[in-house]
Amino acid sequence: MRITAIIAGALLLAAPAAAQLPPQLQIGQMEIKAYAPISKAKIAVQLTQDTALGRQLRGKVMERISKRGNEVGTSGGNVMRMDLAYFDLLGTGGGGGSTAADTPSSSQPGDNQRPSLLGNITGLRNDDRNAPAPRPPTLTISFTLYAIDTGKVVWVATASCSTTGGMVAKAGEAMINSIFDNADKSIVGDAGCPL
């Protein structure tokens, strides 16, 4: 009896995990889930991480929300959380060469420098010809709008684009425009990524 229970448990664990997870967006796509219409109440746009890029793009979001007829700000009213993630595993972020993060300020000529982390990631080594190509630099923007009176999530949007360091802000603006052009309906579509 125990053996049967163990086998049944093993079969349940062996079921494909992908069947249990929601599908993920492809790079270059956006998804909007409008659980309720965005009300005309004041919306406070809050960044989950305060960065220069985040502040710049938050300004664009606030412009788009005000064009919808909403009062906007950084506090009060319904809360829209804005999350930005820029992943550049290739190190092409636009600065060229090494960055301050790559070279400690106390390093002297002849010091043992720490090894490059990119060479240690599978698929980025020059000698690994069978590895898949690394992903290009990617910007992802996510929004979650909470109703102030109930605390419930009423609207969610996510978009991502491949981009380079010099085009990150432009890609972010394009995604914001695509999202807010279609903000009132639940859709999956093109994120409007610049070429």
Domains of the chain by start residue, with CATH? 22-90+112-190 (3.30.160.670)
pLDDT category at 44 given cuts 50, 70, 90 is very high
Q: What are 134's two structure tokens?
A: 């690394």
187 forms beta bridges with 32
Model pLDDT, residue 149? 87
Give yes or no for residue 162 having a pLDDT over 60: yes
Backbone angles phi, psi at 64, to 5 degrees: -65, -40
With contact defined as beta carbons under 8 Å apart, do 157 and 179 qualify? yes
Angle value at C-alpha 21, between 23 and 168, nearest 5 degrees? 45
Model pLDDT, residue 133? 61
90 conformational bin, left if phi > 0, alpha if psi -120 to 50, beta if neither:
alpha
R_g of the chain, CA atoms, integer Å: 22
136 vs 133, higher pLDDT: 136
73 vs 59, higher pLDDT: 59
- How far apart CA 47 and CA 51 sit, in angstroms, is 9
pLDDT digits (tens, 9 = 90+) for 60-103: 999 999 999 999 988 888 999 999 998 877 666 544 333 333 33
